A = this chain, B = another copy of it.
């Protein structure tokens, strides 16, 4: 917090819309501002091969607004990148020259491979995908990137975008089964030589995000954004059924579908179906990141532009935006995990490493809510975790982290409004996590790491927790003793805390 954050503007000069996104970084990073315009610079391009005069005017007006914005807000690191519409236009140089002269912006036209690479960077830095495929479905084209050991092994693009497929196969108000079948057969034929297609798949782009939102809606899940949500083949098939039954103008009535996408969503969904079919893929892990984040990650991270551990980075990043006492939270996490490990060793739970990671994350984030207000800061921590987001975790996991943090003080752990996200055993995971975090917080009450660690003995149906310290640990003992109730409920054992 001692220096001003570095701010980077990425301007995505896309075929359908232009978007300026500002990222800020200062030991943490986040998206802090955004302007969006539906410029449709690609309008009329397919027919003539050229950017049309009116579209070009709209584009220059928008770039001018963005240039004003950058100057006014003191943005110096500005990265405008253009994709297919401008790449493919015969008169692109004329447009780029006018952009340069009129707005001062130097727009960089991405090659097909560069565009695919930014999508890959976005996906691999916001999911845990290490081997599999990144799918990026846009309006004009679809990119598939084969990922091996987190590296991009093959970067390909096909002219299978949602706008193009709509125009070719589903241009009418009603869609027939035959048309959908033809569309899918076309996609399948195009993908024939991509014999590496298969395994885990991460998906980016507006079509994927919107389908995921609709699938969440259909499943009755709370809407916490689609980051990390898995769109299954089954859910997608059901959505295609539901969309295909309606005329194009009525498709926005399917809950979760955005009106602005309603005319393209069915073709996009069918393309994805065909890709999943071709690769025998069960589900797509959705990420909200995309091209713009890819460009930003390239600027933020040294080659190969990858976070070492996406989940740990998400936790660290959210924590760094709000929190001030790294030693305290790290020690609380250490104490909580030490007890969790000892309880697993004693056979009091099954020691699932996934559960351990969620407890760690919750411990690191338990106090972030104090940035809102000290009163009820445990509830504010829940809000900030759910709304700030943790790329790399699925919604269920993010919810569990948020709830463990919520119950680090006050109240009996329950899923409440988030119930629909809970899987089998998750109530017990929450109860264990909250119980241990609450104890660890009490052991670290004086904030001086006086309790270095604990030794745990399970015997005669009870648990004895011995505090190992660098001095008088009686205060910690007494504080923890008053908060042993949750532990006794969660583990169904009496707890004795000794110095």
Residues of A within 8 A of B (CB): 1-4, 30-35, 61, 64-65, 68-69, 71-73, 225, 321, 324-325, 328, 370-376, 380, 383-384, 387-389, 445-450, 475, 478-479
Residues in B neighbouring A387, C-beta threshold 8 A: 372-373, 376, 380
Residues in B neighbouring A33, C-beta threshold 8 A: 370, 374
Question: Do B68 and A448 touch (CB < 8 A)?
Answer: yes
Question: Do B376 and A475 touch (CB < 8 A)?
Answer: no
Question: Do A65 and B376 touch (CB < 8 A)?
Answer: no
* Nearest-CB residue, chain B, relative to A474: B61
Residues in B neighbouring A448, C-beta threshold 8 A: 68-69, 71-72
Residues in B neighbouring A2, C-beta threshold 8 A: 2-4
Bound Cα distance A203, B31 (Å)? 43
Question: Do B68 and A450 touch (CB < 8 A)?
Answer: yes
Bound Cα distance A65, B477 (Å)? 12
Question: Do A370 and B475 touch (CB < 8 A)?
Answer: no
Chain B nearest CB from A297 CB (Å) reads: 17
Query: With A64-B475, A387-B380, A475-B61 in contact, do A374 and B69 touch (Cβ < 8 Å)?
Result: no
Question: Do A73 and B450 touch (CB < 8 A)?
Answer: no
- Contacts A1-B4, A31-B373 known; 14 new A-B pairs at CB < 8 A: A2-B3, A30-B374, A31-B374, A35-B445, A61-B478, A64-B475, A68-B446, A68-B447, A69-B445, A69-B448, A73-B325, A321-B371, A372-B383, A373-B387
Bound Cα distance A415, B69 (Å)? 33
Chain B nearest CB from A201 CB (Å) reads: 24
Question: Do A65 and B32 touch (CB < 8 A)?
Answer: no
Question: Do A65 and B225 touch (CB < 8 A)?
Answer: no
Chain B nearest CB from A375 CB (Å) reads: 7
Q: Which of B65, B375, B447, B478 contacts A73 (CB 8 A)?
A: B447
Residues in B neighbouring A4, C-beta threshold 8 A: 1-2
* Nearest-CB residue, chain B, relative to A383: B383
Query: With A64-B475, A475-B64, A475-B65 in contact, do A447 and B375 touch (Cβ < 8 Å)?
Result: no
Bound Cα distance A4, B324 (Å)? 10
Question: Do A324 and B69 touch (CB < 8 A)?
Answer: no
Residues in B neighbouring A447, C-beta threshold 8 A: 68-69, 72-73
Chain B nearest CB from A399 CB (Å) reads: 16
Residues in B neighbouring A324, C-beta threshold 8 A: 32
Residues in B neighbouring A34, C-beta threshold 8 A: 374
Chain B nearest CB from A70 CB (Å) reads: 9
Question: Do B446 and A69 touch (CB < 8 A)?
Answer: yes
Bound Cα distance A225, B376 (Å)? 10
Chain B nearest CB from A318 CB (Å) reads: 10
Bound Cα distance A31, B372 (Å)? 10
Query: With A73-B325, A324-B32 in contact, do A445 and B65 touch (Cβ < 8 Å)?
Result: yes
Question: Do A72 and B372 touch (CB < 8 A)?
Answer: no
* Nearest-CB residue, chain B, relative to A1: B1
Question: Do B32 and A374 touch (CB < 8 A)?
Answer: yes
Bound Cα distance A32, B447 (Å)? 14
Residues in B neighbouring A445, C-beta threshold 8 A: 35, 65, 69
Question: Do B32 and A68 touch (CB < 8 A)?
Answer: no
Bound Cα distance A448, B70 (Å)? 9
Q: Which of B1, B3, B68 contacts A475 (CB 8 A)?
A: B68
Residues in B neighbouring A73, C-beta threshold 8 A: 325, 328, 447
Q: Which of B374, B376, B384 contacts A372 (CB 8 A)?
A: B384
Question: Do B449 and A72 touch (CB < 8 A)?
Answer: yes
Bound Cα distance A34, B449 (Å)? 18
Residues in B neighbouring A3, C-beta threshold 8 A: 2
Residues in B neighbouring A68, C-beta threshold 8 A: 446-448, 450, 475
Bound Cα distance A475, B380 (Å)? 39
Chain B nearest CB from A272 CB (Å) reads: 23
Bound Cα distance A388, B379 (Å)? 12
**6 nearest A-B residue pairs (beta carbon):** A72-B448, A68-B446, A72-B447, A31-B374, A65-B475, A69-B446
Chain B nearest CB from A405 CB (Å) reads: 15
Bound Cα distance A383, B373 (Å)? 11
Question: Do B375 and A225 touch (CB < 8 A)?
Answer: yes
Residues in B neighbouring A69, C-beta threshold 8 A: 445-448
Choose among A32, A225, A450, A479 the residue with the greatest number of B CB atoms under 10 Å from its CB.
A32
Residues in B neighbouring A31, C-beta threshold 8 A: 373-374
Chain B nearest CB from A277 CB (Å) reads: 32
Bound Cα distance A68, B448 (Å)? 7
Bound Cα distance A324, B450 (Å)? 38
